[in-house]
Amino acid sequence: MSFKPLTSLRRGIGMFWRGLDATRRFVLNALFLVIVIALLVAIFGGGAKPLVSKTALVLELRGDLVEQHSGDLRDALLSNVGGETRRMIELRDLLVVLDAAAKDKHIGSVLLMLDELDGGGLAMLHEVGAAIDRVKAAGKPVVAWGGNFDQKRYLLASHASEVYVHPMGMVMIQGFGRHRNYYRDALDKVGVTVNLMKVGTFKSAAEPFISNGPSQASIEADTYLYGALWQGYTASIEKNRKLAPGAVAKSVDQLPQLMEAAGGSAAQVALNLKFVDGIKTRDEVRALMIKRGVYEESIKTFRQVSFGDYLARNPQKAFGDAVGVVVASGEIVDGQGGPGVVGGVSTANMIRRAREDDAVKALVLRVDSPGGSAYASELIRRELELTRAAGKPVVVSMGNVAASGGYWISMAADEVIADPSTITGSIGVFAILPTADKVADKLGVRTAGVTTTWLADAYNPLRPLDPRFGQLVQSSINNVYREFTTRAAAARKTTPAKIDEVGQGRVWTGAQAKERGLVDRLGSYGDALRSAAKRAKLGDDFRVAYVERPGSTFERLLSAIGVSAAQAMTIQVKLGMLPDAIPNAAVAGVAKDLGWLSELADGKKPFAAVTHCLCELP
């Protein structure tokens, strides 16, 4: 009897806790339901006013043009609220908007505002430029305006019907090429020895750590590569702007004299060279759009719809047979990798999900990667091989970069399509084993102990590299290179010897790779989608389903109804973004290089073969 009060108290606390927990779940579920209903109403319920004729699509592009966001929806929302990360524009969203505008009878024109567009490789810019051309072909003028056109922004602007620059602005076309940092002397001074094992005469990725300058092979390859990229770039500008062949290169050569003649006005130089059609301030462009369009009293300017709002009006098909797309964007690493990083296990899992999805009838692998782990690359390649064996066509679409490991994962496809400016190839392998025994000597650090075999502590960064261990690693590298060339030969229906001739770590443009049989044809991302759909007999009205890492419940819901993260953000928040601090470029470059060296030498996998080109589009 004496325990009854205690039992009643326990029972009462339990009932209270269960009631509290039930209330919590009810409130959270109700909140989630409200968000879902609001989202569905915003998309399907006529929440937005229908567009009317002569609406201008305003593409004020802010941030980096990317294949895939490098964070989840939560990160993207937080970055919009607090400005913690750079804003990103997914290529797929921009193409959806432009292609929808070309077909939309209510869209009368497009205005490109490019001042805040950053990043974006040549292959992606070619995709967007082609989409702008499709808008023009539909009879809709495209006006581009900017204050400062760098050569990437200007490549897009050159596709427009008209290009205007601010009176204090400029068109800055610099050409291609780069100077790397070389650390041999610096590493010697601090007592670090970098032991390099590699296969490939042209495999120059590790040269900055073992040399004070580029090798002749590296100079030869880079000269050939950059020359082709420059030739392609200038030809595109001259075609788009109806300029004489050689006009762009000539303008760079004569720029000091041209600036002097124009009184130091870079905008006037651009106008004199016919790079732009006029010099206008932002308000003058607005007045031009009002004159050509319709003045809207409610917004005190021309009738318009923004990029985000128009994207939200164009959700993609959510049901039916589909071409699945897996995006491999970023460095290839072992294990898991979120957006912006290609995880060997996580990407292989996505390919497997696509293969096992009955609604996915074909697969496109969109590659934008300089490579990384050979092991992770093979995991991905194998899953593509199994997908083909299961009867589902696989098409590879190469973006800005598909080199080294990025090429490795492209070797199990029915067709490989590259942009003419894609950086690809770099069929070569290396490993780096830094040792700091000289640093230890300077500091008076000694290392000693007992091991059961010589291999137990063979790679100790505080001791000189054991030549037997170096021999083991070199043997492993040789074997991986044989695997690389053998698999490439089988994929390209040739011999390992012929692959070796165009391999050896050498990097090619997409056009050069096509000439050497490393890709099947030159084309766009859209060409890859259409090829996959045709191979799967899907017809013209096929669905595109992006197969991505599993997200939160909310993200999965959005994906199920065909809403992208960018569309969800547009619907939910319309907040500005704080400007980012810009680090010193030189310091950032050194930190990146040496940080990468440190990651390679973490000692966890001393036999790890690296298929990385350390190549970037200029």
Q: Residue 530 belongs to what H/E stretch?
A: helix 525-535
pLDDT at 7 over 90: no
Q: β-pairing, 193-199 with 429-435? A: antiparallel
CA atoms within 13 A on the CB side of 252: 11
Sequence-ordered alpha helix ranges (H) in 45-146 = 73-82, 91-103, 122-137
Check: CB of residue 608 under 8 Å from CB of residue 427: no
pLDDT at 598 (0 to 100): 61
Residue 616 — pLDDT band, cuts 50, 70, 90? low
Sequence-ordered alpha helix ranges (H) in 150-241 = 151-157, 184-190, 207-210, 216-240
493-535, pLDDT tens digit by residue? Answer: 999 999 999 999 999 999 999 999 999 999 999 999 999 999 9
pLDDT at 602 (0 to 100): 55
pLDDT at 439 (0 to 100): 85
Q: Which of 203, 280, 361, 514 is catalytic?
A: 203
pLDDT at 104 over 50: yes
Residue 83: phi and psi, rounded to 5, are: 65, 30
Least confident of 62-76, 376-390, 578-592: 578-592
Q: β-pairing, 193-199 with 142-150? A: unpaired
- In angstroms, the CA 206 to CA 326 distance is 30
549-587 per-residue burial string, b: 16 or more CB within 10 A, e: under 16? bebeeebebbbeebbbbbbbbbbeeeeebeeeeeeeeee
pLDDT at 9 over 70: no
> Could you tell me the residue ranges of all domains in the chain?
55-172+241-312
The predicted model gives 385-414 an average pLDDT of 97
Q: Which of 404, 476, 559, 564 is catalytic?
A: 404
The predicted model gives 343-350 an average pLDDT of 96
pLDDT at 613 (0 to 100): 83
Residue 582 — pLDDT band, cuts 50, 70, 90? very low
pLDDT at 589 over 70: no
Which CATH superfamily does the domain covering 55-172+241-312 fall into?
A: 2-enoyl-CoA Hydratase; Chain A, domain 1 (3.90.226.10)
The predicted model gives 387-410 an average pLDDT of 97
Residue 80 — pLDDT band, cuts 50, 70, 90? very low
The DSSP letter of residue 607 is T
pLDDT at 217 (0 to 100): 92
Q: 174: helix, coil or strand? A: coil
pLDDT at 22 (0 to 100): 72
Catalytic residue at 404? yes
Of 92, 310, 210, residue with least CA distance to 597: 210
pLDDT at 48 (0 to 100): 65
Catalytic residue at 369? no
pLDDT at 12 (0 to 100): 67
The predicted model gives 61-87 an average pLDDT of 64
Rg (CA), the chain: 28
166-200, pLDDT tens digit by residue? Answer: 999 999 999 998 888 898 898 888 888 888 888 88
The predicted model gives 43-49 an average pLDDT of 57
Longest Cα separation, the chain: 106
Residue 99 — pLDDT band, cuts 50, 70, 90? very high
- If you average pLDDT over each of 17-21, 33-37, 70-74, 327-331, which comes out highest? 327-331
